[in-house]
C-alpha cells in the first residue's frame, strides 16, 4: 500500500463531509496540528489514530487505506476470495490483510495480521477485539499482563486497555483479528428510548 493514499483519503473524506481540520480534530479527540500533520504526511498514522479519524468521519478504516479504484459499497454481503485479500497496510511491525474491504458501513473490521519478531507499538482504541492465532506463537501484552498464545488459541478483549504483541516463533505468527468499534450510528434513524 502506498501510504500517501491515507493522507489523501483523510483530506478528501474530511472535505466531502464539510469538516474543517478543527472540527475533525475535535470529533476525533486529536489536536488540530496533528490532523494537519497527518494530511501533509507521506506516512500513515498509527492504527489507533486511524480508528479515531474513521469514527469521527463515520467511515470504515478500510475506506481511508484503500485506493479509489477499489469499490467500497454499502452492500448486504461481501465475499472476498483467498486471492482477492488486500494487503492494506504494513506499519509499525504489523502487516494487515483486509478481509471485508468491499463492504462499507461495517461495525466489525476483520483482518489477518502478521506481527514481526520485534517489540511492538502499544495500541489503544475504542471498541473490542477478537484474536485467533492461525499459526505460530504470539506474545500478547494486555495492560501489565503477558499471555503466550499458540496456534488455535483465541482471546477477546476491550481494546481501550493498552495492548501490544509480537511473534515469538521463528515463523511469524498469523492472526485473524476482528475489531469492533462503536462508530456505526445511523444518523438518519430516530431512536426512542423509554
Tell me how far apart the alpha carbons of residues 36 and 32 are, in angstroms, rounded to a whole number.
6
Predicted confidence band at 75 (pLDDT cuts at 50, 70, 90)?
confident
Share of the chain above pLDDT 90, in %: 36
Look at residue 69 and tell me whether its pLDDT is greater than 80: no
Q: What is the rounded average pLDDT of the residues 52-61? A: 86
Average pLDDT, the chain: 82
Q: What is the rounded average pLDDT of the residues 87-102? A: 71
Residue 60 burial (C-beta neighbours within 10 Å; 0-12, 13-18, 19+):
buried
In the chain, residues under CATH classification 2.60.120.10 are 82-180
CATH topology of domain 82-180: Jelly Rolls (2.60.120)
Q: How many residues does the chain have?
A: 194
- Beta carbons within 8 Å of 80's beta carbon, 6+ residues apart: 98, 99, 100, 101, 102
Look at residue 153 and tell me whether its pLDDT is greater than 60: yes
What DSSP line would sit under 121-148, residue for residue? PPB--SSEEEEEEEES-EEEEETTEEEE
What was the pLDDT predicted at 183?
53
Grid coordinates representing 159 are 481494546
Whole-model pTM: value is 0.73
The CA–CA distances, whole Å, from 2 to 99, 153, 178 equal: 19, 33, 23
What was the pLDDT predicted at 72?
61
Phi, psi of 29 (to 5 degrees): 60, 45
Q: What is the rounded average pLDDT of the residues 59-71? A: 70
What is the SS3 assignment for 105?
coil
Domain covering 4-65 assigned CATH 1.10.260.40 in the classification: yes
| pLDDT digits 0-9 by tens, 9-34 | 899 999 998 999 999 999 998 999 99
What was the pLDDT predicted at 188?
35
Pick the more confident residue, 145 or 113. Answer: 145
Q: Which of 83, 42, 81, 85 is nearest to 62 (CA)?
A: 85
- Which CB contacts under 8 angstroms, 24+ apart, belong to 154-157? 154/130, 155/130, 155/131, 156/128, 156/129, 156/130, 156/131, 157/128, 157/129
What is the SS3 assignment for 74?
coil
Pick the more confident residue, 121 or 93. Answer: 121
In the chain, residues under CATH classification 1.10.260.40 are 4-65
Amino acid at each position: 500500500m502506498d501510504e500517501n493514499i491515507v493522507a489523501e483519503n483523510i483530506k478528501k473524506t474530511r472535505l466531502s463531509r464539510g469538516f474543517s481540520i478543527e472540527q475533525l480534530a475535535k470529533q476525533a479527540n486529536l489536536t488540530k496540528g496533528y490532523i494537519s500533520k497527518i494530511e501533509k504526511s507521506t506516512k500513515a498514522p498509527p492504527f489507533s489514530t486511524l480508528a479515531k479519524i474513521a469514527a469521527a468521519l463515520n467511515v470504515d478504516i478500510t475506506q481511508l487505506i484503500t485506493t479509489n479504484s477499489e469499490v467500497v459499497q454499502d452492500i448486504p454481503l461481501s465475499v472476498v476470495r483467498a486471492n482477492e485479500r488486500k494487503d492494506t497496510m504494513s506499519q509499525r511491525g504489523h502487516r494487515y490483510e483486509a478481509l471485508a474491504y468491499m463492504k462499507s458501513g461495517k461495525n466489525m473490521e476483520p483482518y489477518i495480521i502478521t506481527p514481526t519478531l520485534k517489540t511492538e507499538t502499544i495500541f489503544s482504541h475504542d471498541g473490542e477485539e477478537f484474536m485467533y492465532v492461525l499459526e505460530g506463537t504470539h506474545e500478547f501484552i494486555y495492560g501489565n499482563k503477558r499471555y503466550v498464545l499458540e496456534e488455535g488459541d483465541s482471546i477477546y478483549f476491550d481494546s481501550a486497555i493498552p495492548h501490544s504483541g509480537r511473534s515469538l516463533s521463528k515463523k511469524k505468527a498469523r492472526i485473524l483479528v476482528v475489531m469492533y468499534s462503536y462508530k456505526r450510528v445511523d444518523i438518519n434513524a430516530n431512536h426512542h428510548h423509554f
